[in-house]
């Protein structure tokens, strides 16, 4: 069964049919899903999904866009939710300089990122990293923490080149591969997938975003992951079934399931 390591089923894009869609996952070949919190408002929604659906696990953390909203009380809430038996990671956390250009904003994001990496270390859990147009700073912080001892992690929606991939792979981290690998113009990511060992790849969608071909531009869901597995299989010259089996094994190993 396919293991989906990164989706956002608490997103309003699923408000009209969430129950029906999630109830159809098993018949669509999806065995497990990690619903990844991104916002302060999403903390309780992610917890509710973990409680309701046996196959849904949770990553608890705050996306860098919400860094200005992260207080000591929010960090304490993250710690509290991570005690849930189905909480498997701290995420998604990291840096995003695409919309945030000012140095002051960058420093705030870095401080919030570090605070959540501290929590991942305290709770002995892996992390899920979001990094957009912040390659150098993300790498520096991750490398610092891994050298000090961490419990693994995923570079979600990996979008950098082979040289950066090598840095993370050498630290024993995993690369999250989603719908972008099916795009015709995704040459850089396809080179990374060809280079990276299958033992360090996991499948993800980032639903409702980044739907693969042939559904690019539409609402994404975990049921589109076979297209991602097929694309990886073509690049690596193996079967989609092997990709699905190995990436499930990888995810379960990292997340302690």
How confident is the model at residue 101, as a pLDDT?
Answer: 86
**Which residues make Cβ contacts (< 8 Å) with residue 201, sequence separation at least 6?**
174, 175, 177, 193, 232, 246, 247, 250
List b or e across 8-33, with b for residues whose CB sees 16 or more CB atoms inside 10 angstroms: bbbbebbeeebeebbeebeeeebebb
pLDDT digits (tens, 9 = 90+) for 191-216: 999 999 999 999 999 999 999 999 99
73-81 average pLDDT score: 98
Q: What is the band of 51 on the pLDDT scale with cuts at 50, 70, 90?
A: very high
Q: Are 204 and 232 in contact (CB under 8 A)?
A: no
Query: Domain 2-255 belongs to what architecture?
Result: Alpha-Beta Barrel (3.20)
- Sorted by where each begins, the domain ranges of the chain are 2-255
pLDDT digits (tens, 9 = 90+) for 114-173: 999 999 999 999 999 999 999 999 999 999 999 999 999 999 999 999 999 999 999 999
pLDDT digits (tens, 9 = 90+) for 5-26: 999 999 999 999 999 999 999 9
Distances (CA, A) of 154 to 51, 125, 175: 24, 11, 6
Residue 9 gets the label, from left (phi > 0), alpha (psi -120 to 50) or beta, of: alpha
Residue 148 class from Cβ within 10 Å (0-12 exposed, 13-18 middle, 19+ buried)? exposed
Residue 180 class from Cβ within 10 Å (0-12 exposed, 13-18 middle, 19+ buried)? buried
């Amino acid at each position: 069964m396919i293991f989906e390591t990164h989706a956002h089923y608490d997103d309003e894009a699923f408000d009209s049919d969430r129950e029906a869609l999630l109830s159809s996952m098993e018949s669509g070949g999806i065995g497990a899903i990690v619903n990844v919190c991104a916002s302060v408002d999403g903390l309780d929604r992610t917890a509710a999904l973990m409680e309701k659906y046996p196959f849904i696990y949770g990553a608890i953390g705050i996306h860098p866009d919400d860094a200005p909203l992260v207080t000591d009380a929010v960090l304490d809430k993250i710690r509290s939710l991570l005690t849930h038996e189905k909480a498997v990671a701290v995420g998604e956390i990291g840096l995003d300089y695409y919309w945030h250009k000012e140095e002051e904003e960058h420093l705030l994001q870095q401080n919030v990122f570090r605070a959540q990496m501290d929590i991942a270390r305290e709770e002995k859990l892996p992390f899920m990293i979001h990094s957009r147009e912040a390659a150098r700073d993300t790498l520096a912080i991750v490398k610092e923490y891994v050298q000090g001892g961490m419990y693994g992690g995923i570079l979600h929606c990996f979008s950098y080149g082979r040289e950066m991939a090598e840095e993370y792979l050498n630290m024993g981290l995993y690369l999250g591969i989603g719908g972008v690998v099916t795009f015709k113009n995704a040459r850089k990511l396809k080179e990374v997938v060809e280079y990276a060992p299958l033992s360090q790849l996991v499948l993800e969608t980032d639903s409702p975003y980044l739907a693969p071909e042939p559904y690019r531009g539409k609402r994404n869901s975990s049921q589109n992951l076979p297209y991602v597995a097929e694309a990886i299989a073509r690049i690596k010259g193996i079967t989609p079934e092997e990709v699905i089996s190995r990436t499930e094994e990888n995810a379960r190993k990292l997340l302690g399931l």
